[in-house]
Amino acid sequence: MSKVILVTGAGRGLGTDIAREALTAGHQVVATGRRPEEVEKTLGGPQDNLLVTRLDVTSLEDAEAAAQAAVERFGRIDVLINNAGNLFTGYFEEISPAQMRQQFETNLFGPMNVTRAVLPILRKQRAGHIITITSTAGLVGMEFTSAYAASKFAEEGWMESLRHDIEPYNIHTTIVEPGYFRTELLVDGSTTWPELSIDDYAPRTAPRIEGMKTMNRQQPGDPAKLARALLTIVGQDKPLLRFVAGADAIEAAEAKAKELLAQAKASRELGDSLAYDVAPA
Q: pLDDT tens digit string along 149-189?
A: 999 999 999 999 999 999 999 999 999 999 886 665 555 55
Is-catalytic flag, 148?
A: yes
The pLDDT value given to residue 196: 86
Dihedral-angle region of residue 233 (phi above 0 means left; psi in -120 to 50 means alpha; beta otherwise): alpha
- Nearby residues of 40 by Cβ (< 8 Å), 6 or more positions away: 31, 46, 50, 52
Nearest to 128 by CA among 73, 62, 86, 77: 77
The pLDDT value given to residue 187: 53
Catalytic one among 91, 148, 169, 201?
A: 148
Nearest to 111 by CA among 152, 170, 148: 152
Output the CA torsion sign for 109, 115, 118, 124: negative
* Segment 36-54 mean pLDDT: 97
Give this prediction's pTM: 0.92
Distance CA 157, CA 159 (A): 5
Q: pLDDT tens digit string along 83-141?
A: 999 999 999 999 999 999 999 999 999 999 999 999 999 999 999 999 999 999 999 99
Going by pLDDT thresholds of 50, 70 and 90, the confidence category of residue 190 is low
* Segment 241-247 mean pLDDT: 95
pLDDT at position 281 over 80: no
